[in-house]
Amino acid sequence: MTRRAPALRVWVAAIALAVLGAVPVAAPGAAAPKPIPATLSDIATDAGDLTGVLTLRSGGGAVEVDDASLHATVGDDDVPLEVDPVTQAPRRAMLVVDTSGSMGEAGMAVARDAAASFLEAAPKDVRIGLVSFANTSGVDVPLTTDRARLLRSVNALESDGETSLYAAIRDAVTALGASGDRSILLLSDGGDTIAKDKARAQKSAVSALKRAGIRAEIVAFKTDETDTSVLDRFAAAGGGSVAQAGDDKAVKAAFTAAATALESQVRWRLTAPETLSGPQKVVLTGTAGGRDFRAASMVDLGDLRASTTDDPSAPAPTVVTSATPESFAAPATSWMKPAAVAALFLGILGLVMALVAPAFQTRRAARVAGVETYLPATESLTRDRPKASGAGALTTSLVAYGDKRMEGRSSASKTMALIERADLALRPGEWWVLRVVSLIVGAALFMLLLGGGWGRLVGLALGLVVGGVVPALVLRFLAKRRAKKFDTQLPDALSLVASSLGSGFSLPQALDAVAKDSADPLAKEFSRALAEARIGSDMAEALERVGTRMDSQNMRWTSMAITIQREVGGNLAETLRTTAATIRDRASLKRHVQALSAEGKLSAYILIALPIFIFVYMLFVNKPYIALLWTTLPGIAMCIAGAVFLAFGIWWMSKVVTVEV
């Protein structure tokens, strides 16, 4: 027996170890699920009782609180707790979406998809609003239960401009009001490139969020400007959390989790012991979905007002106060961009109508209009005709109003002379309509290109200047080009007239032959002079009017030579040949001077175009960088100074490189 005892003890020990090994031993903290992050918000008093909202952020689907597990303490005293459905209390949420250029089109597509998931999953009683921010921030959609309206606004968001994050937080706090359960769902990279004093602006936004007691759920979108430290401060101040979103699935999951957190809310009520006063900690514990939770907050039982504190065992809860948030700057006007688009559309429509309307004029109407130019202003061949209707009536009314506006202006005669020189079929009223349309299109186009805030105001001013100057410059260019072509054709035409006179033709016959064989504009102008001569005008005077109409000094000399030859006699053909030779020599000398001054002119053109080209290039390549010129006061001052210096430089260079011959 004594020999078998050790062996028996060995077998007993082995069996005991096997039995112990078969029993599962839980590793410390491995089997127990993680606690659910929980916060208390909207704490207030109701007939001496404390009420508030308990929010559970499970990170997955909605969880239901186990009423039997709820336990509440105020200070060190246990107190009874009652819960009610949260739908009996007003709930508000604000989507705050970053639409700056750093988000990019891909980022905005992800944001739109995630926001749609949030709107679909959020409880129907929650009133939701939308705040977007780039160069400026503003409330795009006020608090509403109309999910379709919100979805349309979210889908219309576009990425462009800088980032005004801190202003957007203040706008959202103001829009959410001062009572009820309120939350913010922020999608941003955490950068703010608009605020001048970033530390002060960040402190103001965090303070506003904390004082209002608004829960903040943050989705950190990863971009080149990501600053998670800023987002962490917002989450700490708002008793929420920061979800790192690395891709579209992560962003969508974070938005959906924020919506299910609203489903996992209950409203609680408790009676604080009368023996307690002053600041006391309110702690709620329990289970939900098989997981524990703990939420804590500080309440001043003396003032019956909520304040905030950091509980080391709770995930940075936030307590609501009844203090009204400080007032901030009003959100940027959101109507300016649609107004600019509408103005651009109307301007282009008016331009098309003004340009196309003459094409529908009948030949009879064109002939009558041509005859009416020689009639007194009090007479008209068409005044008894029935008025047009529809688009034609609108065009006629606009042109008639333009005629009245142009009548009596000192510049009207100069403008019409340029229009006639350029051979444009435009009446004074039609030209006035084109100028107005140009102003509208220019203002709307530059307002759209330069973005919001100060950019739209600068774009409006710049667009009005460009819209007012460009038509006049184009008209002068067309008139000068046609006059230059006329002067180029004139020497050959005079040689042909001289040859015809030498062959026995009269002057009208020689001019008619030239008009038939030459190209425009000389053919048209000579034909007009012949038509004036046929109805009784003197030929020399008709040719002099051609010189005045085309602003041609060469044609004036030609008419003067013809007049002198008629008065003193002589060989007109030889006189015209001498005149043609003089014109050719003068043109040759002018071309020689132009060749010598070409380098200076090219330098002037490059220096003038360089700042304009760089501005337009940077506008498309790096708009946030160039946007500082119209989004900051120093930038606006630099723009004004640059425009003044550029205008002076253009004037000075034009004087330097211009050589009169």
| pLDDT value at 386 more than 50 | no
Check residue 649 and give its pLDDT.
86
* Mean pLDDT (whole number) for 526-545: 86
Q: In this predicted structure, what is the pLDDT of residue 629?
A: 83
Segment of 26-30, 306-310, 637-641 carrying the highest mean pLDDT: 637-641
Residue at a domain's end among 214, 248, 264: 264
Answer yes or no: is pLDDT of 322 > 50: no
CA distance 567 to 540: 12
Whether residues 439 and 558 fall in one domain: yes
Q: Identify any residues that bridge with 141 across adjacent strands, giving them in sequence order.
A: 130
The pLDDT of residue 29 is above 60: no
What is the distance of C-alpha 480 from the center of its chain?
Answer: 38
pLDDT of 326 > 50? The answer is no
Q: How many domains are there within the chain?
A: 3
Tell me whether residue 281 is in a domain.
Answer: no
Q: Mark whether 606 and 580 lie in a shared domain.
A: no
Does the structure show a pLDDT above 60 at 28? Answer: no
pLDDT tens profile 592-620: 888 888 888 888 888 888 988 898 888 88
Band (362; pLDDT cuts 50, 70, 90): low
User: Rounded CA gap, 66 and 70, in Å?
Assistant: 7
Question: Using one digit for the tens of pLDDT, what is the confidence trace for 46-59?
Answer: 656 777 787 777 66
Which residues span the domain enclosing 131? 89-264
- Return the pLDDT at 269: 81
- Whether 539 and 604 map to the same domain: the answer is no
Tell which residue, 28, 120, 41, 486, has the closest CA to residue 308: 41
Give the span between the Cα atoms of 93 and 262, in whole angstroms. 9
How do residues 425-450 score in pLDDT, each as one tens digit? 777 778 888 888 888 888 888 877 77
Q: Is residue 17 part of a domain?
A: no
Residues 123 and 98 grouped into a single domain: yes
Is it the case that residue 385 has pLDDT exceeding 60?
A: no
Q: What is the mean pLDDT of residues 301-313?
A: 45
Give yes or no: residues 258 and 110 share one domain.
yes
Model pLDDT, residue 25: 41
User: Mean pLDDT, the chain, as a whole number?
Assistant: 74
Q: Which of 97-111, 147-161, 291-305, 538-552 has the lowest mean pLDDT?
A: 291-305
Tokens, residue 251: 């962003």
User: In the predicted model, what is the mean pLDDT of residues 303-321?
Assistant: 40
pLDDT score recorded for residue 295: 81
Domain termination site, one of 211, 230, 264: 264
Domain at 185, CATH number: 3.40.50.410
Q: In this predicted model, what pLDDT tens digit does every residue of 262-276 receive, in sequence order?
A: 776 777 787 877 777
With a CB cutoff of 8 Å and minimum separation 6, the contacts of 655 are: none
Q: Both 344 and 454 in a single domain?
A: yes
- The answer on 562 and 629 residing in a single domain is no
Is the per-residue pLDDT at 90 higher than 80? no
> Which amino acid appears at position 463 of this protein?
G
pLDDT value for 344: 58
CB burial of residue 199 (10 Å; 0-12, 13-18, 19+)? exposed
Mark whether 633 and 544 lie in a shared domain.
Answer: no
Backbone angles phi, psi at 74, to 5 degrees: -120, 115
Q: What is the mean pLDDT of residues 54-68?
A: 73
Residue 75 — left, alpha, or beta (φ > 0 → left; ψ -120 to 50 → alpha)?
left
Q: Confidence band (pLDDT; 50, 70, 90) for 455? A: low
Is residue 277 in a domain? no
Same domain, 573 and 638: no
Asked if residue 314 belongs to a domain, the reply is no
Domain boundary (203, 236, 264) is at 264
Residue-level pLDDT at 392: 55
Residue 50: per-residue pLDDT: 77
* Band of pLDDT at residue 40, cut at 50, 70 and 90: confident
Q: 127-140: per-residue pLDDT in tens?
A: 889 988 888 888 88
Res. 338: pLDDT tops 80: no
Confidence check: pLDDT of 313 > 80 = no
278 lies in some domain: no
Same domain, 455 and 548: yes
pLDDT at 308: 35
With beta carbons less than 8 A apart as the criterion, state whether 451 and 161 touch: yes
Given a cut of 60, whether residue 381 has pLDDT beyond it is no
Kindly state whether residue 290 falls inside one of the protein's structural domains: no
pTM over 0.85: no
Sign of CA pseudo-dihedral 59, 64, 66, 72: positive
Q: What is residue 96's three-state secondary structure? A: strand
CA dihedral sign, ordered 176, 182, 185, 190? positive
Same domain for 244 and 118, yes or no, is yes
Per-residue confidence at 32, pLDDT binned at 50, 70, 90?
low
Confidence class for position 121, pLDDT limits 50, 70, 90:
confident
Does the pLDDT value for residue 627 go beyond 50? Answer: yes
- Residue 380 above 60 pLDDT? no
Domain-located, residue 318: no
Question: Is 504 found in the same domain as 368?
Answer: yes
pLDDT band with cut points at 50, 70 and 90 for residue 336: low
Q: What is the pLDDT of residues 155-212, one digit of tens each?
A: 888 888 788 888 888 888 888 887 777 888 888 776 777 877 778 888 888 888 888 7
- Within a domain: 319: no
